[in-house]
Amino acid sequence: MKIMKRKKFIRKATPYFFISPWIIGFLVFTIGPLILSLIMSFFDWPLTTEPVFRGFGNYIEMFTKDAQFWKSLRISLKYAAIFVPLNMGIALFLAMLITQPVRGVKVFRTIFYIPAVISGVAVSIIWGWILNGDYGALNYLLSLIGIEGPRWLVDPAWALFAVILASAFGVGTMMLIFYTNIKSIPITVYEAASLDGASPARQFFSITLPIITPTILFNLITSIIGSFQQVTLVMLLTGGGPLKSTYFYGLYTYNNAFKHHKLGYASANAWVMFIIILILTALVFKSSSTWVFYEAEAKKENKKRRGGKK
Partner 1 sequence: MKMSRKTKAIIYILLTVIAVYFLAPFVYMFFTTFKTEAEAIAYPPKLLPSKWLFENFVNAWKSQPFGTYLKNSILVTVLTTTGQILSCSLVAYGFAKFEFKGKNILFMILLSTMMIPWDVTMIPQYMEFNMFGWINTLKPLIIPAWFGSAYYIFLMRQFLMGVPKDFEEAARIDGANSFQIYWKIYMPILKPSLILVGVLNMISVWNDYLGPLIFLQERSKYTLALGLAAFKGVHSTRIIPMLCITVIMIIPPIIAFIVAQKYIVEGTSGSIK
- Closer to partner 1 at the Cβ: 60 or 192? 192
Distance CA 89, CA 79 (A): 15
Interacting residues with partner 1 between 92 and 111 (CB under 8 A): 94, 97-98, 100-102, 105, 108-111
- Angle, vertex CA 95, rays to CA 90 and CA 97, nearest 5: 95
| 117-153: burial string, b at 16+ Cβ within 10 Å, e else | eeebeebbeebbebbbeeebebbeeeeeeeeeebbbb
Interacting residues with partner 1 between 235 and 264 (CB under 8 A): 236, 250, 253-254, 257-258, 263
Interacting residues with partner 1 between 276 and 305 (CB under 8 A): 277-278, 281
- Closer to partner 1 at the Cβ: 31 or 304? 31
Q: What x-and-dash track marks residues 112-151 binding partner 1 by CB under 8 A?
A: xxxx-xxxxxx-xxxxxxx---xx-x--x-----------
Asked if residue 266 binds partner 1 (CB under 8 A), the reply is yes
Tell me the Ramachandran region of residue 73: left when phi exceeds 0, alpha when psi lies from -120 to 50, beta otherwise.
Answer: alpha
- What is the enclosing helix (H) or strand (E) of 12? helix 2-25
Interacting residues with partner 1 between 32 and 91 (CB under 8 A): 32-34, 36-37, 40
- Closer to partner 1 at the Cβ: 124 or 223? 124
Q: How many CB atoms lie within 10 A of CB 155?
A: 15
- Closer to partner 1 at the Cβ: 167 or 215? 215
CB of 182 to partner 1, least distance (A): 10
Distinct helix (H) and strand (E) counts, the chain: 17, 2
Asked if residue 211 binds partner 1 (CB under 8 A), the reply is no
What is the identity of the amino acid at 183? Answer: K
- Closer to partner 1 at the Cβ: 135 or 305? 135
The footprint of partner 1 on this chain (CB under 8 A) covers a number of residues equal to 91
Distance CA 29, CA 237 (A): 30
Distance CA 22, CA 28 (A): 10
- Closer to partner 1 at the Cβ: 154 or 225? 225
Interacting residues with partner 1 between 170 and 199 (CB under 8 A): 176-177, 179-181, 183-184, 187, 190-191, 194
